[in-house]
């Protein structure tokens, strides 16, 4: 059977989307694009208790920022919707009923209190209770109660759930497209709830029914869902739709920078990096979590970095445009073991993409920062400045850190440099330099440099003894781009003014 490739990203709106979730979306997107297929967004919100307001909008905005635009799905149109599971409630019931009818599922009437008690008793015996083929015959369900009693209970409106009746001792063997052959024995699996007393399906039933109805051909999801796979396979079988069963692939975990354990928000807070694509404000606590976007990452850098968390092209190449990723992506090159996240590498990618941008593009991105500070300058000048300091920048915000002195006089002078380079005769020397500068008519870096060199040769002063203090006067520190270029861009009057100002301020101390 040759079906059009259709994959889905199926997040639950329980909070901000973790970067691992974005990677899942990315791999689905790449796979779909590579195979000329469709990429869907489905919101899995059957667990109403875990619903967080704003999470759904956050997911959609994150995908848009990353450029991972679904062909179909919530907020993106499509024929097979609705794409929000809570709006599909009436659809699931008939599938649950058909499982009851064919004996693959059963009603269970055990109350939460009952089960809690049993769980505690088991704990006391150092055992773990599980509702499964070993215990179900001693519990309150349609397998143990008479048909008449089940009918009475149902008719009286007693609360119940529908559980899957896990078959006995069957090996479920599947070729995962990333992990290869994986096998499970059903004796180890429990009778999962498929349908809840509130009339909502659980994740398992809704997920399988929707993958079927939305004609999904490949399920690409995080490794935490691997234990659910045998149940899902059995559900396809029990629903009589095995021929439409998608192929499964389970992506490796994203690990902490230290390499052990799953990357969490706490790691980000502790070490100062974002684990979410966008800034998020928790609607309950008001607490903020930083985002890649607001931290100044370019979406292409974020995507490039994510693509290499668990996938490689088999070559040394590390920089990939989205089109190259689409062309090269292959599930067979996704690794099984966890992928260690390196926050420094993320910055390194951003640096690369910043260097790729033209001065004109960067100037447009930098203008809002200048405007916010009330600074207005001519665009050509800004572009030239950016050209001079770009290579020192990882983020657009670094442009300001590296270039503020072009726009405003330094407010203070680096202490260490003052102490080591400002000698008792420095002011006097700088006064002489400023007199020389006054005489230069053609205020160009080249010309200033020539006059200055001739002057220094004549005076027989060491270059360092004068250059460093001038730099200090102009930029406030001891590093930065070429000094004479700085002079030219600041302008004659301001250059001389800053030198005189530094002499006054520093000599006073």
Nearer to ligand GLU, 82 or 257 (CB): 82
The Cα-based distances of 479 to 125, 148, 274, 392, 476 in angstroms read 70, 87, 30, 11, 9
Task: Enumerate residues 185-214 that contact ligand GLU by CB under 6 A.
Answer: 203, 207
- Distance of alpha carbon 408 from alpha carbon 403, whole angstroms: 9
Of the listed pieces 7-15, 88-96, 264-272, 285-293, which binds ligand GLU according to CB under 6 A?
7-15
Q: Does 238 bind ligand GLU (CB under 6 A)?
A: no
Nearer to ligand GLU, 236 or 443 (CB): 236
Of the listed pieces 6-14, 353-361, 418-426, 451-459, which binds ligand GLU according to CB under 6 A?
6-14
Please state the closest distance from residue 341 (CB atom) to ligand GLU, in A: 19
11, 20, 73, 230: residue in contact with ligand GLU (rule CB under 6 A): 11
Q: Does 129 bind ligand GLU (CB under 6 A)?
A: no
Residue 491 gets the label, from left (phi > 0), alpha (psi -120 to 50) or beta, of left
Question: What are residue 193's phi and psi, to 5 degrees?
Answer: -70, 135
Q: Does 44 bind ligand GLU (CB under 6 A)?
A: yes
- Distance of alpha carbon 412 from alpha carbon 429, whole angstroms: 21
Nearer to ligand GLU, 210 or 485 (CB): 210
Count of residues that bind ligand GLU according to CB under 6 A: 8
Q: What angle do CA 180, 181, 183 make, to 5 degrees?
A: 140
Nearer to ligand GLU, 104 or 207 (CB): 207
Q: Does 20 bind ligand GLU (CB under 6 A)?
A: no
Please state the closest distance from residue 335 (CB atom) to ligand GLU, in A: 19
Question: What are residue 280's phi and psi, to 5 degrees?
Answer: -135, 135
How far from the centroid of its chain's Cα atoms is residue 132's Cα? 38
Please state the closest distance from residue 232 (CB atom) to ligand GLU, in A: 8
- CB neighbours of 168 closer than 8 A, spacing ≥ 6? 133, 186, 187
Please state the closest distance from residue 208 (CB atom) to ligand GLU, in A: 9
Relative to beta strand 105-108, strand 161-164 is: antiparallel
User: Which are the catalytic amino acids?
Assistant: 265
DSSP label of 261: S
Nearer to ligand GLU, 65 or 203 (CB): 203
- CB neighbours of 11 closer than 8 A, spacing ≥ 6? 17, 21, 25, 43, 44, 59
- Distance of alpha carbon 23 from alpha carbon 254, whole angstroms: 9
The Cα-based distances of 322 to 68, 180, 276, 305, 341 in angstroms read 10, 27, 20, 11, 20
7, 10, 108, 303: residue in contact with ligand GLU (rule CB under 6 A): 10
Q: Does 12 bind ligand GLU (CB under 6 A)?
A: yes
- Distance of alpha carbon 177 from alpha carbon 250, whole angstroms: 8
Nearer to ligand GLU, 203 or 413 (CB): 203
6, 33, 192, 221: residue in contact with ligand GLU (rule CB under 6 A): 221
225, 236, 348, 461: residue in contact with ligand GLU (rule CB under 6 A): 225
- Chain residues in the site for ligand GLU (CB under 6 A): 10-12, 44, 203, 207, 221, 225
């Amino acid at each position: 059977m040759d079906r059009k490739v259709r994959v889905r990203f199926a997040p639950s709106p329980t909070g901000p989307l973790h970067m691992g979730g974005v990677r899942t979306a990315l791999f689905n997107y790449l796979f779909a694009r590579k195979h000329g297929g469709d990429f869907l967004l489905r919101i899995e919100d059957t667990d109403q208790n875990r619903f967080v307001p704003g999470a759904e909008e956050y997911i959609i905005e994150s995908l848009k920022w990353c450029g991972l635009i679904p062909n179909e799905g919530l907020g993106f149109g499509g024929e097979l919707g609705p794409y929000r599971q809570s709006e599909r409630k009436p659809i699931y019931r008939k599938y649950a009923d058909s499982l009851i009818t064919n004996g693959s599922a059963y009603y269970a009437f055990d109350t939460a209190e009952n089960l809690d008690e049993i769980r505690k008793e088991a704990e006391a015996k150092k055992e773990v209770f599980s509702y499964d083929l070993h215990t179900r015959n001693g519990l309150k369900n349609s397998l143990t109660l008479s048909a008449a009693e089940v009918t009475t209970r149902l008719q009286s409106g007693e609360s119940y759930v529908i559980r899957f009746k896990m078959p006995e001792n069957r090996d479920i063997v599947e070729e995962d497209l990333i992990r290869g052959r994986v096998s499970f024995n059903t004796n180890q699996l429990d009778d999962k709830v498929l349908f809840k007393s509130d009339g909502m399906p659980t994740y398992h039933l809704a997920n399988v029914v929707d993958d079927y109805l939305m004609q999904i051909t490949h399920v690409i999801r995080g490794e935490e869902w691997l234990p659910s796979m045998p149940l899902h396979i059995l559900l396809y079988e029990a629903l009589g739709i095995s021929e439409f069963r998608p192929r499964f692939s389970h992506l490796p975990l994203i690990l902490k920078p230290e390499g052990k354990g799953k990357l969490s928000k706490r790691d980000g807070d502790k070490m100062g990096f974002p684990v979410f694509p966008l800034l998020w404000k928790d609607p309950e606590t008001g607490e903020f979590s930083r985002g890649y976007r607001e931290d100044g990452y370019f979406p292409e850098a974020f995507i490039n970095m994510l693509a290499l968390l668990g996938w490689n092209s088999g070559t040394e190449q590390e920089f990939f445009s989205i089109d190259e990723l689409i062309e090269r992506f292959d599930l067979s090159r996704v690794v099984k073991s966890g992928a260690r996240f390196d926050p420094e590498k993320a910055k390194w990618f951003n640096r690369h993409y910043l260097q790729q941008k033209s001065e004109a593009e960067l100037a447009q991105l930098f203008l809002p920062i200048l405007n916010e500070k009330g600074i207005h300058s001519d665009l050509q000048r800004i572009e030239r400045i950016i050209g001079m300091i770009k290579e020192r920048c990882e983020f657009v915000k670094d442009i300001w850190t590296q270039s503020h002195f072009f726009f405003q006089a330094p407010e203070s002078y680096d202490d260490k440099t003052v102490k080591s380079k400002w000698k008792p005769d420095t002011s006097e020397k700088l006064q002489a330099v400023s007199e020389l500068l006054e005489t230069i008519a053609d205020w160009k870096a080249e010309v200033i440099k020539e006059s200055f060199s001739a002057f220094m040769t004549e005076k027989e002063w060491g270059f360092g003894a004068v250059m460093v203090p001038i730099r200090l006067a102009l930029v406030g520190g001891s590093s930065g781009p070429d000094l004479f270029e700085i002079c030219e861009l600041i302008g004659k009057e301001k250059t001389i003014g800053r030198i005189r100002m530094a002499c006054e301020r520093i000599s006073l101390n």
